[in-house]
Each structure stands twice: as structure tokens, then as C-alpha cells.
């Protein structure tokens, strides 16, 4: 791979001078190893990115690294014959901004085993509106369906529905034929959530859980971004053999429940960990996201587009609970 010098990157440092992230100039010879060198066009902002960029969460396992857990762009060089110069590719998770340099840079060197060819039906920008958030929602749907979730069991509750994962989940699940009930503490966004496909919107502040081990079945399943008391309250409301996919912990990492929903109704709790998903599943999910699961409202969900220099302000808004929808990052042309 021929070296490319003097490109811009948001680089995260943690040394005797302190924890910090800033725009630096570097060359490709300083990037972490990999078989595929990509000129980045787009990235996105996820909660993990905000934690990593500010140091308010322990995301990086080594330093320094470029931030950004998502990236999409074009191959400029490859030692793997599966990829050729000019190929459009994407990568989400897979150690980006944890153990290897991420997508907040004009170039990224990727491991070929985690580099996904951009499927027909998606643009590079659309793939980053989806990013880890959309991939997570689609992975949840795939796992639920693998465990026999069907629309006939009942509506799917989506908690944290105003966030990026929640909005994309509403669009993806409704596109797949499920009735979606959106649960959010931001009632002023309910009209927007309905426009994405939610048939009902529920204010989490007015959602009263009985505290009983079992209650009348209200939902056929759920995608929970919140955890904590929300997850505990949902489990007694799930219909027989419904699935609850858990992918977030905004409400806490612990929850107090009983075994009753599991042993009486056969409810399943499915953990959704997108970062290390096997390659065959990755390719299958991205194909679905470009085809029959492609959200109809991606441009509406992409509420902000920023540059690398604007990322610090985005991080602060996200951690303060003031973000809405998905933010895409224009890294380069394309």
C-alpha cells in the first residue's frame, strides 16, 4: 500500500498531558494494520463515539487511536484480492475506535474480514445514516425472527424510541410488517415517530407498571434500548413466546425481575451485541438493509450532518440528552 501523508483525523490521546481528542495531521503509515486502505467519505455519531471522544466512558483499549466506530468510503489499496481499488465498502464496530483506528479520519485501514462491500440499493451516505444503530436494530429483528417472532404475536414495543436506534427500529420493524408501539419520554416527538411508522406512541413518564410478576399481555415483543426498570416493567407485559431484544442501558445496567415471564409464558430475552457479529450475519443483514428492510425515511432520520471539526459539540449535546435522530459525518467527498 502506498503511503498517504498529511490527512486529517480526530485522534484520541491519553498520556501524561491528559485525555483529549483533537484534529491532527497524520499519514497512513501511522494507521493500525489491516489489508484494506479506504479513503473515507462518511461516518456517523453513536453514543459510544461521544463517550470515547470526551473520555466519559472507557471505550478505547489502547492509545492513541482515531475515533469513530463506523466508516464508509472507497478502497484505494488492498492486499486482499476480494477488494479492488475503487470498491465502495463499509465497516461498523469490529474494533474501530476500540483496538484500531476508526472512521473519524480521511483514511482508514481496515481488516478485510470485517470490511463489507456496499450492497446495491444503498449509497455510502445512507449506509452511515444506518451505521451501527441501524445494524443493531436489524440484528435484533433477525434474532427475534430466528426465535419465531411474527407480527401475529402482537405489536413490538420500542423503548428509547426518539434515539437513533429507536427511530431506525421503528422504520425497519414496520417495513418488515410489524406493528410498532414507540415508548419515549419526549412527547413533543410523537408526531415524528408516527411519521416513521409507529402506530402508537407511549409517554414513558405515564407508563405505569404494576410491579406484578405477571400482567396482562400487551406487547408481542420489544426492542429495549433502556434497560433498568424499563426492562423489568416490560417483561411481565410480553405475550407468550414473545422476544425482548436488549441492546442498551440508558436506564441502568441492573434490573429486578422474576423468572415468571420466562417459565410461564416462554418469553425470551435476547442480548444484541453488534460489534462482534459474525461476518456471514453482517453480510446478510446489510443485504436486507439495502433491500426489503431498508428504512423508508432515512433522509428524515438523518437530522444533522457535520464535519470532523464540529464533532465535539455534537458529543456534548448527545451526552446531555439533547440529540435527536442520526448525525452523519462528512469526512471526505462521496
pLDDT tens across 128-173, in order? 999 999 999 999 999 999 999 999 999 999 999 999 999 999 999 9
Please say whether the dihedral angle defined by the alpha carbons of residues 270, 271, 272 and 275, taken in this order, is positive or negative: negative
User: What is the pTM (predicted TM-score) of this model?
Assistant: 0.95
Residues of the chain with pLDDT under 70: 1-4, 333-334
Q: What pLDDT is stored for residue 24 in this prediction?
A: 96
Angle at 230 between CA 167 and CA 154, to 5 degrees: 65
Please say whether the dihedral angle defined by the alpha carbons of residues 129, 293, 163 and 253, taken in this order, is positive or negative: negative
| Among the listed residues 193, 252, 257, the one whose alpha carbon sits nearest the alpha carbon of residue 224 | 252
Q: What pLDDT is stored for residue 333 in this prediction?
A: 63
Contact 132, 69 (CB under 8 A): yes
Q: What are phi and psi of 298, to 5 degrees?
A: -60, -40
Give per-residue pLDDT as tens, 245-262.
999 998 999 999 999 999
Helix-then-strand count for the chain, H and E? 9, 16
Identify whether 180 is preceded by a cis peptide bond (ω within 30 of 0).
no
Contact 32, 65 (CB under 8 A): yes
Residue 159: strand pairing partners: 183
Biggest distance spanned by C-alpha atoms of the chain: 64
Amino acid at each position: 500500500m502506498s503511503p498517504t501523508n498529511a490527512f486529517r483525523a480526530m485522534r484520541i490521546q491519553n498520556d501524561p498531558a491528559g485525555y483529549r481528542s483533537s484534529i491532527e495531521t497524520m499519514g497512513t503509515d501511522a494507521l493500525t494494520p489491516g489489508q484494506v486502505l479506504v479513503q473515507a467519505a462518511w461516518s456517523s455519531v453513536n453514543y459510544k463515539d461521544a463517550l470515547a471522544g470526551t473520555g466519559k466512558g472507557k471505550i478505547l483499549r489502547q492509545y492513541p487511536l482515531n475515533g469513530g466506530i463506523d466508516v464508509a468510503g472507497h478502497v484505494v489499496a488492498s492486499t486482499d484480492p476480494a477488494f479492488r481499488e475503487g470498491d465502495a465498502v463499509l465497516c461498523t464496530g469490529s474494533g474501530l475506535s476500540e483496538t484500531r483506528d476508526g472512521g473519524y479520519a480521511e483514511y482508514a485501514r481496515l481488516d478485510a474480514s470485517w470490511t463489507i462491500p456496499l450492497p446495491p440499493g444503498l449509497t455510502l451516505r445512507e449506509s452511515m445514516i444506518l451505521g451501527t444503530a441501524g445494524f443493531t436494530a436489524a440484528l435484533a429483528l433477525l434474532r427475534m425472527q430466528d426465535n419465531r417472532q411474527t407480527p401475529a404475536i402482537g405489536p413490538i414495543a420500542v423503548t428509547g424510541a426518539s434515539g437513533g436506534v429507536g427511530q431506525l427500529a421503528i422504520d425497519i420493524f414496520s417495513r418488515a410488517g410489524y406493528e410498532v408501539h414507540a415508548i419515549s419520554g419526549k412527547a413533543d416527538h410523537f408526531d415524528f415517530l408516527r411519521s416513521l411508522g409507529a402506530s402508537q406512541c407511549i409517554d414513558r413518564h405515564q407508563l405505569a407498571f404494576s410491579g406484578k410478576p405477571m400482567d396482562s399481555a400487551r406487547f408481542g415483543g420489544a426492542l429495549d434500548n433502556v434497560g433498568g426498570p424499563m426492562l423489568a416493567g416490560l417483561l411481565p407485559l410480553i405475550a407468550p413466546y414473545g422476544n425482548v431484544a436488549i441492546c442498551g442501558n440508558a436506564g441502568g445496567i441492573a434490573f429486578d425481575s422474576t423468572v415468571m415471564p420466562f417459565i410461564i409464558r416462554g418469553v425470551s430475552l435476547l442480548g444484541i451485541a453488534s460489534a462482534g457479529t459474525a461476518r456471514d450475519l453482517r453480510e446478510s443483514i446489510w443485504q436486507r438493509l439495502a433491500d426489503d428492510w431498508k428504512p423508508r425515511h432515512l433522509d428524515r432520520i438523518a437530522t444533522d450532518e457535520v464535519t470532523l471539526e464540529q464533532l465535539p459539540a455534537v458529543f456534548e449535546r448527545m451526552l446531555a440528552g439533547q440529540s435527536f435522530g442520526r448525525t452523519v459525518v462528512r469526512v471526505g467527498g462521496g
